[in-house]
Amino acid sequence: MPYRLGNIFRTAATAVLIGACALIGTNIVAQADSNIAGKKVIFVPIAMGISLTEGWARRMREHAAVHGYSLDVRDAAFNTATMAELVAKAISEKPDVLVVHNPTVQLLARQIKQAESEGIKVLQINLQSNQPSAAFVGANWERIGREIAEDIVKECGAGSGKSGKVAIIPGQLTAADSVIMNEAAFKVFEQHKEIEVVSNQASDWEPEKARQITATVLQQHPDLCAIFGHWDVHTMGAGNAVKDAGKADSVLVYSTGGGDDVACKAVEDGIQDRIWSYDADGQGRDAGTMVDLLLQGAATADGSMMIVDSPMKIIKAGEGFDPSLCWKM
């Protein structure tokens, strides 16, 4: 059973955090080595050039600069073969900590296990592999999937006067967020037989593909009630297809995302209606603090994975819209 550390990392310095974690019973063992200058960290994201990963890298670089260790970012550019190669090369270089952003639950599983067996601490960020590691910082995907599904039931289910038809647009069906959110959402929908999932097609994270999927679904189901996109960036395509079809007032567009100012603009412009934000800027700070802890030897007593759940912010169109919920690069 992994230890969930909640939001304790947000407000305290590293040394205080270690003591606080012990006090709250997470059984973290922290070695006394506070001199982490000169140590090496490698970060391999799915892709750079997007606010999500740029935000994480910015915050982790701040931590590296303060403590004097190196952070090397290796961009896989949405290519899974390249990512596997980059991770293999990183392991051969023996960094003290390896930070990975898993495109699917299985792709890096063997390499994560190899790295850990060779004494390299692995921090998984936001998308988790089937293979546990030293630590994970990211969204609680079960909670997001369940909450969005419950909101869809409220808006499209019994008593709403609407069709109950829903289209789901994952990034990839085998990505951790899509696997977990779909499982959580379908559990909710199964209890509400009036809800019908009419499409569950992956966009491969591409806005244009999401737009095409949505346009086709709208032709087949003009009474569609809601779209649940698994990432706000590709869901922009879905939202634009809804707007182009003149259905922005009748089809709700849901998504998840890192909550930057582009997300708020999408809600403000009526491209998306509700975004469950996991605050990528805050995730970057949490990841930086977790790297600091791992470099100092922090670990659970039983070797299980430390987990920090990202706090949730719901960016919602209408009267409750609050642009301050979003962050800027």
Q: Give the amino acid at 116.
A: E
CATH 3.40.50.2300, the chain: domain bounds: 3-139+279-310, 141-277
121 DSSP β-pair partners: 97
Q: What phi, psi does 238 have (nearest 5°)?
A: -65, -45
Decide which of 3.40.50.1820, 3.40.50.720, 3.40.710.10, 3.40.50.2300 is the CATH code for 3-139+279-310: 3.40.50.2300
Range 141-277 has CATH code 3.40.50.2300: yes
CB atoms within 10 A of CB 6: 13
d(CA 214, CA 218) in angstroms, rounded, equals 6
More confident position, 8 or 158: 158
pLDDT at 14 over 80: no
Residue among 41, 82, 93, 30 at smallest CA distance from 65:
41
Check pLDDT > 60 for residue 16.
Answer: no
Q: Which of 315, 177, 140 is nearest to 168 (CA)?
A: 177
Query: Residue 34's pLDDT is what?
Result: 58
| CA neighbor of 194 nearest in space, from 249, 226, 153 | 153
Interaxial angle between packed helices 280-295 and 14-23, expressed in degrees from 0 to 180 and rounded to the nearest 10 = 80
Q: What is the DSSP string of 215-241?
A: HHHHHH-TT--EEEESSHHHHHHHHHH
Entry pTM: 0.88
Q: Could you read off the pLDDT of 269-314 as tens digits, one per residue?
A: 999 999 999 999 999 999 999 999 999 999 999 999 999 999 999 9
Identify whether the C-beta of residue 41 lies closer than 8 Å to the C-beta of residue 99. yes
**Joined tokens for residue 267:** 């809600």
Q: With pLDDT > 90 as the criterion, what percentage of the chain qualifies? A: 86
CA atoms 217, 219, 220, 224: torsion sign:
positive
Residue found by looking up tokens 């409750």 in the block: 320
> Which pLDDT value is given to residue 319?
83
Q: Do 247 and 218 meet the contact criterion of CB atoms below 8 Å apart?
A: yes
What pLDDT, on the 0 to 100 scale, is given for residue 68? 96
Note the pLDDT of residue 8. Answer: 36
Looking at per-residue confidence, does 254 or 7 come out higher? Answer: 254
| Overall average pLDDT of the 232-241 stretch | 97
Q: Which residues of 40-67 are buried (b: 16+ CB within 10 A; e: fewer)?
A: bbbbbbbbbebbbbbbbbbbbbebbeeb
Query: Residue 33: is its pLDDT beyond 50?
Result: no
Angle subtended at Cα 24 by Cα 276 and Cα 294, rounded to the nearest 5 degrees: 75
Give the pLDDT confidence of 202-231 residue by residue, as tens digits: 999 999 999 999 999 999 999 999 999 999
Judged by average pLDDT, the poorest of 19-33, 85-99, 251-265 is 19-33
Tell me the mean pLDDT in the region 50-79: 96
What's the rounded mean pLDDT across residues 65-71?
96
**113-154 pLDDT per residue, tens:** 999 999 999 999 999 999 999 999 999 999 999 999 999 999
pLDDT at residue 31, as a whole number:
41
**Does 195 have pLDDT greater than 50?**
yes
DSSP of 35-64: --TT-EEEEE-S-SSSHHHHHHHHHHHHHH
Q: Identify whether the C-beta of residue 170 lies closer than 8 Å to the C-beta of residue 230.
A: yes
Instruction: Provide the residue type at 305 as one letter.
Output: M
